[in-house]
Amino acid sequence: MSTPVDDPTPLDDPLSRERAHLAESRAALRAMREDVESLDIKDVTANWVNAEVLARQIDERIKALADLSDTPLFFGRLDYLH
């Protein structure tokens, strides 16, 4: 018979913490993509050339923020000491 002390809580279970972190990361990715998709650029460009360039850059950013659900998220660490 297990006691509540024996059962790992989400804060004590590394796998649960990792799953929660990934869920939060995917939610943040989705929010970033939605922010870019909602940009209104019609009043921020000086001419049609600037508008085309900005529209293309926004399209590229939207593609970069795509959530590829069958691909795991990747996190990196910069270690400047080595």
SS3 11: coil
pLDDT average, residue stretch 2-19: 69
Q: What is the DSSP letter of 39?
A: -
DSSP per-residue string spanning 3-23: -TTTSPPTTT-HHHHHHHHHH
The model scores a pTM over 0.85: no
pLDDT-derived band at 14 (thresholds 50, 70, 90) equals confident
Tokens of 30: 């989705």
Cβ atoms of residues 12 and 46 within 8 Å: no
pLDDT number for residue 70? 84
Residue 45 CB partners (closer than 8 Å, separation 6+): 51, 54
pLDDT number for residue 12? 76
What does the pLDDT look like over 26-74, one tens digit per residue? Answer: 999 999 999 999 999 888 888 999 999 999 999 999 999 999 888 887 7
